[in-house]
Amino acid sequence: MAGKPFPNRSRLAALAKAMPKIDLHYHLEGGVRPETLASITGNPDIGEIRRQLTVPAGCRSLSQFLKRFDYVTPLLRSPRALSMAAQAAMAEAAAQNLCYLEVRFAPAYLATPEMDVPGAIAAVLDGLDQGSRRWGIPAAAILTLGLTTPVEENEAILRAALPWLGSGLAAVDVAGPEGEISLAAQASALALARKLGFPLTLHAGEAAPASAIARAVELDARRIGHGTSLWQNKPLMERLARQKIGLEMCPTSNFQTRAIRSWEEYHIREYFDAGIPVTICTDDPAISGITLTGEYLLAMTELGFTPEEMKQMVLYGIQMSFASRTMKQSLQNRVEQAFACLEF
At 216, the amino acid letter reads A
d(CA 152, CA 285): 31
d(CA 336, CA 316): 12
What confidence score (pLDDT) does residue 63 get? 82
Residue 311: partners with Cβ closer than 8 Å, 6 or more residues away: 19, 335, 339
- Cα angle: 40, vertex 291, 275; to 5 degrees: 130
First-to-last CA distance in the chain? Answer: 8
What confidence score (pLDDT) does residue 330 get? 98
What confidence score (pLDDT) does residue 2 get? 47
What confidence score (pLDDT) does residue 121 get? 98
Pairing between strand 98-105 and 139-146? parallel
Q: Which of 29, 102, 178, 206 is catalytic?
A: 206
Residue 17: partners with Cβ closer than 8 Å, 6 or more residues away: 97, 293
**Domain 9-340 in CATH 3.20.20.140:** yes
Model pLDDT for residues 180-189, shown as the tens digit of each residue: 899 999 999 9
What confidence score (pLDDT) does residue 92 get? 98
Asked if 143 and 171 count as a contact pair (C-beta separation under 8 A), the reply is yes
What confidence score (pLDDT) does residue 235 get? 98
- Whether this prediction's pTM lies above 0.85 is answered by yes
| CA 70 to each of CA 29, 74, 103, 246: distance values in angstroms, whole numbers, following the listed order | 10, 7, 19, 30
CA 144 and chain centroid, separation: 11
Contacts made by residues 32-35, CB under 8 angstroms, sequence distance 24+: 32/72, 32/75, 32/76, 32/85, 32/88, 32/89, 32/286, 33/88, 33/92, 33/286, 34/286
Residue 52: partners with Cβ closer than 8 Å, 6 or more residues away: 68, 71
Nearest to 143 by CA among 27, 274, 43: 27
Domain borders along the chain are: 9-340
206 is catalytic: yes
Model pLDDT for residues 284-313, shown as the tens digit of each residue: 999 999 999 999 999 999 999 999 999 999
Question: pLDDT by residue for the chain (344 residues), tens digit each?
Answer: 444 556 788 999 999 999 999 999 999 999 999 999 999 999 999 999 999 999 988 888 888 898 999 999 999 999 999 999 999 999 999 999 999 999 999 999 999 999 999 999 999 999 999 999 999 999 999 999 999 999 999 999 999 999 999 999 999 999 998 888 999 999 999 999 999 999 999 999 998 999 999 999 999 999 999 999 999 999 999 999 999 999 999 999 999 999 999 999 999 999 999 999 999 999 999 999 999 999 999 999 999 999 999 999 999 999 999 999 999 999 999 999 999 999 87
- Number of other CB atoms surrounding residue 70 within 10 Å: 10
